[in-house]
Amino acid sequence: MPAAQTLVGQMTSQAEKVASQFHYISENPTVTLSCSSPVTVNEGDNVTCICRGKGGNPSANVTWYDKGGVQIVGTGKEEQTLTLSNVVNTASGTYKCVAKSHTLTDEKSIEIIVYNAVPPTVISLRSTPENVVFGESIVITCEASCAFTKLYHNP
């Protein structure tokens, strides 16, 4: 993809019937993201990532797309924020930010991984010694298990 593109055109003024030629140099925008991929969160958390499309001429229009390629927020001039609130496991996937300046584009993607937190289960609870006299020390041991399930499949 070219870094710059020259557009040549002609403009005519109706008032004076004067024609002038102009040159327009289109420059490629560069995308930067405020978050690093992968973004890992637990169900119920929020995700925020800012995409900036700088350096384009004209200024870049910046848009976020979801894992299905559907635009998910409006288009911003040089910047757009992706905000996912109270995420569920189906939000896992790859999200893409595209900065477009005239016919030139740049894009970056992030992977969002949502962990489904399963509440811990107490396996055993025991004390040593089992009987204790007031004032003596006791050790209480609690064993529990917990699993985080990664629910994401990259087709």
Total domains in the chain come to: 1
Domain that holds residue 86: 25-115
CATH number at residue 41: 2.60.40.10
Is the Cβ–Cβ distance between 58 and 27 less than 8 Å? no
Is position 108 within any domain? yes
CA–CA dist 46, 85 (Å, integer): 4
CA–CA dist 146, 68 (Å, integer): 32
Q: What is the pLDDT of residues 36-76, one digit of tens each?
A: 999 999 999 999 999 999 998 999 999 999 989 999 989 99
Q: What percent of the chain has pLDDT over 90?
A: 50
